[in-house]
Structure 1
Amino acid sequence: MNNPDEVVQRLDDVNYLVDDGLAMAIFLSMRLGKPLLLEGEPGVGKTAAAKALAQALDTPFIRLQCYEGLTAGEALYEWNYQRQLLHIRLAEAQGSSIRDADLFTADFLQERPILRAVRHAGPTPPVLLIDEIDRADDEFEALLFEFLGEAAITIPELGTFAATRPPIVVLTSNRSRDLHDALRRRCLYHWIEFPAAERAAAIVRRAVPGASAPLIRNATEFIGRVRRLDLDKAPGLAETIDWVSALAALGVTELAGADVLRTLGTIAKTPDDRELVAGAASQETRS
C-alpha cells in the first residue's frame, strides 16, 4: 500500500471502514516496519482491523490469543518432546549413542504463532495479531521485546531466527492493565474511538446488509444514547452488529421499545445493565 488513501480503499474493498487516523497508523506501521498497538473499548473493531488487513493484502493471518499464564512454549516455539523420545529409543535399539545436540535441531522444533510469522517464506509478509496483550502476564511482555524490536527470535540451542520480510504485527489491548513502557516504545500507537452514529450506521450497514436503513439508523442512535448511561459494559460495535442482526432476523424494519426488550441479551450483558437499557427502551416507547 503506497499511501493512507490506498489503505482506506483496500480495506473498504473487504468491507472494513477505516477512518483517516487508523489508515495513517496502518500505513506507517507497514512502511516503517514497526508493530502497531491498537487500544480502545472492547468491540470497536481492533481485532477486525488486523483480519481485514490480512484479507486486503491476500496474505496469511496468524493469531495469538493472549491469556493469563501464556508461556513462550505456546507463543514462540516448543520442542517436540515425543519425537525426541522416540528418537532416543530408536537409537538405543540400534545401539547408538545420542548427544543433546542431536535432539535440539530444527527437525524437532515446533513452530508457535510468533516463530511461524518470523519463518514465513511467502512473497508477502503475514499479518500477526497478538490479541488482548493486556490479558497476558507482565513476564510474557518481556518475551516479546526482541521480536517486536528486531523481528527475530533467539532459540538458545539453535541461534537467532530473523525474518526475511518482517511480519506485519498488530497488538490489541482493552486496557485492563497498564502495558510496560518498553513494549509501548517498540510500537506505533493508535486509539480507536467508538464511532459517531452516522459512521456506526455505515459500519453496521456493511456487516448486516439485509437490515433496513431505518432500523440501522434507529438502532445506532439508540446505542449512542445507551452508551451515555452508567453501564458496567457499554455495548460496542460488535454488540450493535449482533443486535441489528437479531432484529433483522425477527423481521423488524423500524425500532420500537418492545423490540429492544425482546432482544436485550445482545446488548446488555449484566443484570444491572439489562435494567438500565430496559428503562431507556421504556422511555423510547413513551416518547
Structure 2
Amino acid sequence: MSVAHVDRQLPGETRAASSWYEASARERVRLLLDAGSFQEFIGPEARETSPHLRVFDLPEQFDDGIIVGCGKLDGSPVFVAAQEGRFMGGAFGEVHGAKLTGLLRAARDVKSAPVLLLLDTGGVRLQEANAGELAIAEIMRAVIEARSAGVKVIGLIGGRSGCYGGGGLIAGCCSALVVSEQGRIAVSGPEVIETNRGVEEFDSRDRALVWRTMGGKSRWLIGGADAFADDTVGDFRKAALKLLSSTADFGLDTLKAEQSRLEERLQSFGECPDALDIWRTEGVSDPRSIPALPADQFIALGDKIRRTSRDAR
C-alpha cells in the first residue's frame, strides 16, 4: 500500500492529534501537508548517502537523514524539508546539507512557494566537520537569498534533538519560528557549555535548568520564537499557516529592527542569572509554575505579558 493511500485513509482528527515529538521526519511531513500531496526530491531510492560515514564504519541512511520535496498546505504549494533526529541526531553532513541548500535555491528561483523547515538537529556531524560547517554556511546564505527573493522560510521546531549548533544559526535566519515546549533552541548545547565554562556555569545534567533555559516556553516568552504550539501536528499546522499569512517581507529595515530588539533584550535580561529571573522580569508572578503549565494556559499567560518589541532571534 502506498504512503499516499495510507495518508488518505487516516482520519483528520487522528492526523491533527499526532505527537510532533514522537513522529519521525517522514511522518511529520506526511501528516503536516495536505493528504497525498507530498512529492519527494532525491528520495531513498536515489541512495545519495554520505561519502564520509563508511570511513568511520558508521551506518548510513539512504536519504542521509533529511527529506526534501514539495507539497500543499491548505491547498497552497510549499517546499518542505524535514530532518530525521533519530539518525545521528539529525546532524548536518555534506549530502544532508546539499539537499537542503538545493531546496532553498529552488524556492529562491520559483519565488511563488514558501519553505517549511522541520528542524530536528544536534548540529554538525563531527565525522564530517569541515563539510558540515561549510554546509551550514551555504544553507544560511541560501535562506537569506530565498527571503531576499520574497520567499517566506518558516522553521518548525519540536523534535527529539532540538535545534542546536548550526541548526540554531539557521533557525535565526528564518522568517519566523514555531516552537513547542520540546523544541529547545541554542547554538551551544548543554554539554558544550559545561565543557568549556565548567559545571558552575551550566550543569548539563540538570534537566530542569536545560529546559527552562533553552526550551520552547522560554524561547517564546522572550521573543526567540514567533509562535508557540502544543505537541501536536495540528497545532504546528495552524501556527505555520498563521505565520505564512502574517510574516512581514524581508529587507534591510527588517534586519535593523531585529538588531534593535536584540539590543533591548540584552539590556533587559543581560544580568539575569536564570530563566526564572527573566520570566519574573517579564511580569510572571509565579515563574516556577511555568514548566508545569499546560500549553493552553501557558499561551494565555504569554499573550498577556509578551511584548512584540522583543520578537527577535
Give the TM-score category using the shorter length: under 0.3
TM (norm. structure 2) is 0.25
Higher relative contact order (CA 8 A, sep 6+): 1
TM-score of the superposed pair, with normalisation by structure 1: 0.27
Q: Greater CA radius of gyration, 1 or 2?
A: 1
